């Protein structure tokens, strides 16, 4: 696994085809990563061609796959091509057709096969297609060391083929954290993996304490699950205290107005929102799952077992009822913020991968 790849002496034509399914402006962590990376690469002088695939991925129909095939076929021979894993994980057949001609780099935010709520048959099919596609890539870029380990252990990807390019963050002013009552902020799409249901159950257990909760995130990815969450809130009588805010274009105001960040995801390939919360100096309460422990140090948050509403409620009680504990975690979050990478660091990691892949091509031709 490579965290810092050395630049080689090979001349790199500053040109990249970045293949992304759906709308780049979509408000999720993965799309935010792609947007920020694209901007940082261009700032570094790389010419980035944005290739847009169907928004049906990762469950494309034949038409969407045919369109993806046509778009890959139109890319010049030997071009450097970065493909977002939301599409690449099910593009194994196309990768087999094009990998001799194109220098394909896979960008894996988190494995598709590890999404929550999949049937065993779907999970097995995704595991196979993703394993095959990743094997055919020249290099693989992941957003956390935890995801790198998953790919080596479960997807048979060689560690020396993987580079970790951590998401960057800005350097905003710290949130004042003076909410009366304290604002508990959650930023995540309303999907099963994000475990809003566990959080709602935990909040019902600390109803006697002062707090208000704000759930920021779209409900379009799983409308039935979103409706179930709203019903859960209503049945517990928490409708006046938990607000479903929907998608929000500018998250800066959300973080700045919050006191604590809470998100008990069942799995995270990285979890950009945790880093963003830390950048605002917010204490974090989350599940000890996926890459979250790599992002949130003990000094800045409380991590509990996934799917444990009782432990989550205990963490909420501790931070809401003990001012000294809250203050200590807030100081820890502010200290952690200074250690977070910036987006140009992320771009530099990717540029190093491009250099390495370009050098491999030169070596094969000599």
Total domains present in the chain:
2
Q: For residue range 310-346, what is the model confidence (pLDDT) as tens digits?
A: 999 999 999 999 999 999 999 999 999 999 999 999 9
- Assess contact for 29 and 107: CB atoms under 8 A: no
Residue 79 domain-assigned (yes or no):
yes
The answer to whether residue 175 sits within a structural domain is: no
Question: Using CA atoms, how far apart are residues 329 and 85, in angstroms rounded to an integer?
Answer: 34
pLDDT of amino acid 270: 85
Residue with tokens 């960008």: 107
Question: pLDDT digits over 102-139, tens only?
Answer: 999 999 998 999 888 899 999 999 999 999 999 999 99
The C-alpha atoms of residue 283 and residue 337 are separated, in whole angstroms, by 11
Residue range(s) defining the domain that contains residue 253:
183-337
Judgement on whether residues 332 and 347 belong to the same structural domain of the protein = no
Question: In this predicted structure, what is the pLDDT of residue 360?
Answer: 81
Please report whether residue 89 resides in a domain.
Answer: yes
pLDDT for 365: 64
Q: Which residues pair with 243 in a beta bridge?
A: 214
CA 191 to CA 59: how far, in whole Å?
16
- Confidence (pTM): 0.83
Cβ 11 vs Cβ 359: under 8 Å: no
80 and 94, same structural domain?
yes
Q: Is the pLDDT reported for residue 1 higher than 70?
A: no
Q: Are 213 and 203 in contact (CB under 8 A)?
A: yes
Do 164 and 307 lie in one domain? The reply is: no
- 9 assigned to some structural domain: no
pLDDT value at residue 8: 38
Q: Express each pLDDT in 76-101 by its tens digit.
A: 999 999 999 999 999 999 999 999 99
Q: Clarify whether residues 329 and 346 are in a common domain.
A: no
Q: Output the CA angle 100-104-106, nearest 5 degrees.
A: 140
Place of tokens 């069942």: 266
Q: Are residues 24 and 76 in the same domain?
A: yes
132 and 196 co-located in one domain: no
Tokens 């975690």 belong to 329
Same domain, 151 and 78: yes
Does residue 1 lie within any of the structural domains? no
Q: What is the mean pLDDT of the chain?
A: 93
Are 199 and 286 members of one domain? yes
Residues 314 and 246 in one domain: yes
Residues 6+ apart with CB under 8 A from 297: 332, 336
Residues 135 and 32 in one domain: yes
Task: Report the distance separating Cα 135 and Cα 122, nearest Å.
Answer: 20
Q: How far, in Å, are 20, 60, 112, 298 from residue 266 at the CA level?
A: 25, 25, 14, 19
Per-residue tokens: 34: 């792609």
User: Do 91 and 130 lie in a common domain?
Assistant: yes
Q: What are the start-end ranges of the H helices in the chain?
A: 29-43, 62-73, 85-88, 92-98, 120-136, 145-154, 196-205, 223-235, 252-256, 272-279, 292-295, 309-321, 323-337, 343-365
Cβ(187)–Cβ(263) below 8 Å: yes
Gap between the Cα atoms of 181 and 316, Å rounded: 14
Let me know whether 139 and 43 are in one domain: yes
Q: Is residue 131 part of a domain?
A: yes
Q: Which CATH number covers residue 281?
A: 3.40.50.2000
């Amino acid at each position: 696994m490579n965290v810092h790849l050395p630049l080689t002496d090979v001349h790199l034509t500053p040109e990249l085809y970045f293949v992304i399914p759906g709308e780049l402006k979509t408000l999720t962590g993965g799309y935010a990563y792609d947007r920020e990376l694209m901007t940082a690469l261009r700032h570094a002088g790389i010419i980035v061609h944005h290739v847009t695939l169907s928004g049906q991925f990762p469950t494309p129909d034949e038409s969407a796959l045919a369109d993806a095939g046509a778009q890959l076929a139109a890319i010049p021979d030997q071009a450097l091509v970065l493909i977002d894993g939301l599409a690449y994980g099910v593009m194994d057949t196309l990768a087999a057709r094009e990998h001799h001609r194109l220098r394909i780099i896979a960008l894996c935010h988190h494995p598709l096969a590890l999404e929550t709520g999949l049937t065993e048959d779907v999970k097995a099919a995704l595991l196979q297609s993703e394993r095959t596609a990743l094997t055919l890539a020249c290099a693989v870029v992941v957003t956390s060391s935890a995801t790198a380990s998953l790919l080596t252990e479960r997807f048979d990807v060689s560690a020396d083929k993987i580079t970790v390019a951590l998401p960057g963050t800005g350097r905003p002013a710290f949130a004042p954290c003076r909410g009366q009552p304290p604002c508990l902020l959650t930023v995540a799409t309303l999907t099963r993996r994000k475990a809003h249901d566990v959080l709602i159950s935990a909040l019902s257990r600390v109803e006697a304490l002062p707090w208000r909760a704000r759930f920021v995130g779209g409900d379009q990815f799983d409308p039935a699950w979103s409706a179930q969450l709203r019903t859960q809130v209503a049945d517990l009588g928490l409708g006046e205290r938990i607000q479903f805010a929907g998608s929000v274009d500018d998250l800066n105001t959300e973080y700045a107005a919050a006191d604590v960040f809470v998100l008990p995801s069942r799995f995270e390939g990285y979890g950009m929102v945790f880093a963003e919360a830390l950048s605002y100096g917010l204490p974090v309460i989350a599940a000890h799952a996926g890459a979250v422990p790599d992002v949130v140090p003990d000094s800045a948050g409380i991590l509990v077992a996934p799917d444990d509403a009782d432990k989550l409620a205990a963490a909420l009680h501790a931070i809401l009822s003990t001012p000294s504990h809250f203050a200590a975690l807030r100081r820890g979050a502010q200290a952690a913020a200074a250690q977070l990478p910036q987006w140009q660091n992320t771009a530099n990691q990717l540029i190093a991968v491009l250099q390495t892949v370009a050098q491999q091509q030169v070596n094969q031709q000599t």
